[in-house]
Amino acid sequence: MCGRMAITLPHDAMAQMFEAAPGNDLPEVPNYNVCPTDPVHVVTSDGGARRLRPMRWGLLPAWYKAPNGGPLLINARAETIAEKPAFRAAAKERRALIPASGFYEWTKDAEGVRYPWYITRADGAPMAFAAVWQDWSRDGETLTTCAVVTTSANTSMGRIHNRMPVILEPDDWPLWLGEAGHGAARLMVAAHEELLRFHRVDRAVNSNRARGPDLIEPVEV
């Protein structure tokens, strides 16, 4: 799963990285504790023209009568995304990328205490998560929403959690965004073993109200 992330890239760097036109209402950066239902930065493509846009993290299917009208869909499982009614159409027609500097996962000890880990690319580059998106409207309220696509973890990530976000390389962005024909399903696989590095961070990040760069600093295990 992917339930928390950090984004530290300036807006102009994100726009340049994805060759996307930035919106003027993007979420503030840096944000070291992006939580579900927060706005996130999302890259979409329409006819090859890419946009960097804000979206609510937590996809809302059209049949939800309110934003809290059903389960919070922050992740879409790669194994079932083409079949689940909430994601099926988006997987075909509305794929996107979510830039992130890193993401968090948790392990538990024998007493059930949760210990957070911060995961980044080993080469220090930003990540691009595979995502899907959906417009939702009800009673005059309109939201543009998204979910991160996840898959079974590779061996190294599996020591922390059994799921991980699908992380796409630049050469694969056009295919995922629908700019390079069909076959995007083959991209929904775990990253290679050497892609990621991870370190324990302070339990302060367990609170969704925590803020600041100290959240990603290593602590002794």
Positions marked catalytic: 2, 105
Burial 47-63 (b: 16+ CB within 10 A, else e): eeebbbbbbbbbbbbee
The answer to whether 95 touches 76, Cβ cutoff 8 Å, is no
Give which of 151, 182, 181 is closest to 77, Cα–Cα.
Answer: 151
Per DSSP, the three-state class of 211 is coil
Pairing of β 141-152 and β 75-77? parallel
The answer to whether 150 touches 76, Cβ cutoff 8 Å, is yes
Residue 39 sits at φ, ψ, to 5 deg, of -75, 140
Two tokens, residue 200: 């324990």
